[in-house]
Structure 1
Amino acid sequence: MTFMPALSTFIISKLLGGGQNALIGDLIEKQFKSVGDWGFGSAMSIILMVLILVAMSFMSRYEKEHSEGGMLL
């Protein structure tokens, strides 16, 4: 159930990047596959997860303060 969404994530990033622009997922994948620097790839993954968690906590806090509904702005 999770294989196809996970596989499509790599394909979508390749299509969006167009081979010219590297997305963060592409850079992390390159660290593991091409470069072989597992430590730096892991560090990049952890930093990305922390940034996502911080953004989610800010959005959650903003949503609690303005719970009347409607648009964000």
Structure 2
Amino acid sequence: MLKKQAVELFGTRAELARGLGYHRSRISQWPEELTQQQTDHVVGAAVRLGKPIKPILKLINNPQDRKAA
């Protein structure tokens, strides 16, 4: 998952950080392509908060689409 996709899922970097229980400065330190652990945290928080994750899961499962996004 790309950091951009994670932010889009939550709306803003601040909302992403809040959903994960982080300060938003921590999000700015993430690499552009998230690690598997970071992706798992984002998806888990999205599920817990009722965010629509189907489009993101499609990108995660299709690496070719991820590069085009």
The question of a shared fold, defined as TM-score above 0.5 by the shorter chain, is answered with no
Higher helix share: 1
Greater relative CO, 1 or 2 (CA 8 Å, sep 6+):
2
TM-score calculated relative to the size of structure 1: 0.29
Structure number, greater radius of gyration: 1
TM-score calculated relative to the size of structure 2: 0.30
